[in-house]
Amino acid sequence: MPETIEQPRPLVLGSTSRYRRELLARLGLPFEVTAPATDETPLPGEAPRALALRLALAKARAVAAQHPGAVVIGSDQVADLDGQPLGKPGNHERATAQLRRMSGKTVIFQTALAVVCQATGFEQVDLAAVCVRFRALSDAEIERYLQAEQPYDCAGSAKSEGLGIALLDAIDSDDPTALIGLPLIRTCRMLRAAGLVLP
């Protein structure tokens, strides 16, 4: 029977994203999920990088206020096309427009991560920027892809972990899960710094 390690504090994921929940589960740590009540509206003139960092920290702080003894993870991803933020499309028409805009271009997916523990005063924020080069896409390719995968809840309208990989020429990242929504290398580093024990 494997040895069980007592974690010093509960772990809470401050996110409604099923993708982040699935990624965090890979670490084998018990955790709860709490939806952060955070307004995600960009501030006037706010750069995508700054928006992602601000929202990740705001989400972690909002959930930490509800769970002051826990270690809380907040994360946010903003697709950055020529300095303009692209959010989750929400529907077919907006997803089509996003993919047309990204066709043949490099998009930087700014994936921000924050870990907060109110009880100890711990707070760290980091960013994993992922450069994604899209192929030149025809309208027919875009339509076939959207009908097949319906990625309307993903920033940038494409799931690299699914059929969306066929839309791409290259991905450049130092944290492989960042593009899916939670950079696990950075997450592990920050959870260790917050006092949790990982394998």
* The pLDDT of residue 47 is above 80: yes
Question: Is 3 part of a structural domain of the chain?
Answer: no
Question: Is 103 part of a structural domain of the chain?
Answer: yes
CATH of the domain at 124: 3.90.950.10
Residue indicated by tokens 């690299």 = 160
Question: Is 2 part of a structural domain of the chain?
Answer: no
Question: Is 178 part of a structural domain of the chain?
Answer: yes
pLDDT digits (tens, 9 = 90+) for 70-120: 999 999 999 999 999 988 899 999 999 999 999 999 999 999 999 999 999
Question: Is 166 part of a structural domain of the chain?
Answer: yes
Percent of residues, the chain, with pLDDT higher than 70: 96
Question: Is 1 part of a structural domain of the chain?
Answer: no
- pTM for the model: 0.90
Question: Is 17 part of a structural domain of the chain?
Answer: yes
Looking at the annotation, which residues are catalytic?
76
Question: Is 6 part of a structural domain of the chain?
Answer: no
Domain count, the chain: 1
* The pLDDT of residue 121 is above 70: yes
pLDDT digits (tens, 9 = 90+) for 54-82: 999 999 999 999 999 999 999 999 999 99
- Domain membership of residue 36 as a residue range: 11-193
